[in-house]
Amino acid sequence: MIDTTYFSRLCYEAAVNKTEKDGGINTMGEKTLHQVLKRYYAPDETRHEQPVGRHIADILLEDEIIEVQTAGLYPLKAKIADYLLHTDYRVTVVHPILERKWICWIDPESGSISKRTRSPKKARLIDEMDELVYFLDFLQNDRLRFVFPRLEVQDYRLLNGYGADRKRRSTRYERIPLALLGENILDCRADFAACVPADLEDPFTARDFASAARMASRPSYAAIKVLCAAGVLAAGEKAGRSQTWYKC
């Protein structure tokens, strides 16, 4: 059960605390989004940053380790493998989906901040399959689950990139969470099966999958690989030069 009111309060408290400490957004210390997510999934802060073997877990509960990763999941690959192979803890990876995003631009010379604009991009759960390729060997492990809080956030970016507007390949300065919109969980085979486009007919090619899921070609191959590892898709025969798959 998600608690949007509690999450909003944590966002407010984090923003007030950051303003009181350093006058606003900064690049030092723990980022606001990571901090808010840790407090949301473990209000007892004595559970934060606890040693587990040779690692420091973001959150350590009685029988569960929670790792919060707001960027790509590759840095967690070895850590999650160690937890699953060398401990008996249940392991949860929390990775936010930025469903609604606003952008503010900071001029690094004057320090001025533009009015926020709405990003046209809207992340979806199927788009996160690309990040799960680092855990293929463990996707059917019943001690591993992935939690994807769907968020509204505000990005502050520096005008230090390329092009006339200095926005191309610019640097993200800070990401501030604004609201919790929902939550997706991948905890069992049925959860992964629900990610397969409903109107996809067997057998299908990668191009068929990409079209049904409204994805580009490269991430569609990653999604198929993940769903095969999760046991919900399997490779079929070739149709000409194209590999086919079917739903299990």
Band of pLDDT at residue 27, cut at 50, 70 and 90: very low
Cβ partners under 8 Å of residue 161, min gap 6: 167, 168, 169, 170, 171
| Structure token pair of residue 154 | 């505000």
pLDDT of the residue at 18:
64
- Candidates 1.10.10.10, 1.10.3720.10, 3.40.109.10, 2.30.30.100; CATH matching 195-248: 1.10.10.10
| Separation of alpha carbons 38 and 55, rounded Å | 17
Question: Domain ranges in the chain?
Answer: 4-187, 195-248
- Per residue in 59-70, pLDDT (tens digit) is 999 999 999 999
Tokens of 83: 């937890």
What pLDDT shows up at residue 28?
Answer: 39
Q: What is the pLDDT of residues 64-93, one digit of tens each?
A: 999 999 999 999 999 999 999 999 999 999
Is the pLDDT at 126 greater than 60? The verdict is: yes
Whole-prediction pTM: 0.91
